[in-house]
Amino acid sequence: MPVNARDRLLANAEELFYAEGIRAVGIERILAQSGVGRASLYRHFPSKDDLVVAVLEARDRRWRNWLAERVEALGGHPLAVFDALAERFAHNDFRGCAFINTMIESADPDSPAHRVAAAHKEHVVDYLEQLLTGADVPEPALQARQFALLMDGAIVTALRERTPAPADRARRLAETLLAAGSPAP
Amino acid sequence: MPVNARDRLLANAEELFYAEGIRAVGIERILAQSGVGRASLYRHFPSKDDLVVAVLEARDRRWRNWLAERVEALGGHPLAVFDALAERFAHNDFRGCAFINTMIESADPDSPAHRVAAAHKEHVVDYLEQLLTGADVPEPALQARQFALLMDGAIVTALRERTPAPADRARRLAETLLAAGSPAP
DNA sequence: CAAAAACGGTACCGATCGGTGCCGTTTTGC
DNA sequence: GCAAAACGGCACCGATCGGTACCGTTTTTG
């Protein structure tokens, strides 16, 4: 557990928001679980929305770093992103993608939280394109979007079925996609 | 606009829930937009949760009927489900899949709303399997799950990008999937 | 060791949440 | 045409929402 009140708030708010949703978690719950005084929260964050944005930005950085490291450790092939996802799905506190959830909960596309979530997904697509380019896959920009669609589909399906299997199914789809694209240029 | 208070409540609640989320819409908003008295709501539905379940069950029936009719009209081929999705994505009030949104908003898998949403997805998978079986696609049970994953991936991506393009991309993925499965038995 | 910053606890605020009770009116069914 | 059901409007309830102000204490900093 972090020592700062600020870091404790960020950690506990992220956990609660991810597990139950942003709107479903009140300020009081966060304060109680963090052991932080009410005033301390508003010293660090002007409003709940600002706390939400800070939580999402931190999670964005951490999640993308995790993915890159995990793909690297699994051999660096683009298909490894699905193996990384499978690891996530296996955790019993898996509750889907925090950023998809945020875009759905914060419906207004112009809201700060929604913007951060949308930006996260764009960054992931950029990473995928760079990964596919490095693997000499033709049309990496288009294939990156296909991969992202498969990843989000796997995430939503895993949330629904409560099993890591969708990661493998998405991986198989991506394999046939790469196999179909390569041999006929 | 329906004449019954009950039907007006269902119609307006569905519209508001879909557009802004279930938690984000209070009882008062629904009453005002429906022109219904407060007591009338609680005469028909014991609580907000019961209203939510009734709205979802009605939408489930309507959505699946719509999909079946649309696929039929588009030739009856399994790939037509993606053409049907493309039509939905083009509407400017498109806000993703109400049932995915519900499973995310009502995080508890045992909550009534979550159960209805999960059941809807199972029914869609069943329909896909029957559709693929009718088209003599090998391993229809497995391919139905692949199709469902592609559909959900397209829906989430369309919500994110705010364009119907993901439907075409998912269709292309499904095409290569069928092409890869058929010629090598 | 002292000044200053960070902190936890509590009382309080207006607004809104879902839900109940009662009233007079309108619509429906026989 | 009359009884009964359905209805809309309003007042009200306790609980909780996000947010503010002030308190005395602890921790950091120089």
* Helix segments in B107-139, DSSP class H: 112-134
Shortest CB distance from B23 goes to which of A24, A150, A162?
Answer: A24
Residue B108 sits at φ, ψ, to 5 deg, of -65, 115
CB A116 within 8 A of CB A53: yes
List C-alpha distances in Å: A92 to A40, B72, B113, B122. Answer: 32, 40, 21, 21
Instruction: Give the confidence band of B3 by pLDDT, cuts at 50, 70, 90.
Output: confident
CB B149 within 8 A of CB A157: yes
Rounded-to-integer distance, Cα B35 and Cα B3, Å: 11
- Chain centre distance of CA A64: 8
In tens digits, chain A (185 residues) has pLDDT values of 788 999 999 999 999 999 999 999 999 999 999 999 999 999 999 999 999 999 999 999 999 999 999 999 999 999 999 999 999 999 999 999 999 999 999 999 999 999 999 999 999 999 999 999 999 999 999 999 999 999 999 999 999 999 999 999 999 999 999 998 765 44
Nucleic strand D under 7 Å from the C-beta of B95: no
> What is residue B185's predicted lDDT score, i.e. its pLDDT?
40
Structure tokens at B148: 């469902």
> What is residue A183's predicted lDDT score, i.e. its pLDDT?
56
Q: How far is the CA of A37 from the C1' of C10 (A)?
A: 10
Q: Over 50: is that where the pLDDT of B51 sits?
A: yes
Residues of A with Cβ-Cβ distance to B146 under 8 angstroms? 169, 172-173
Closest Cα partner for A34 from A75, A1, A77?
A1
- Chain centre distance of CA A119: 11
Q: Which nucleotide is nearest to A49 (CA to C1')?
A: D18
Instruction: Give the confidence band of B30 by pLDDT, cuts at 50, 70, 90.
Output: very high
Q: Residue B88 carries which DSSP code?
A: H
The model's pTM is 0.96
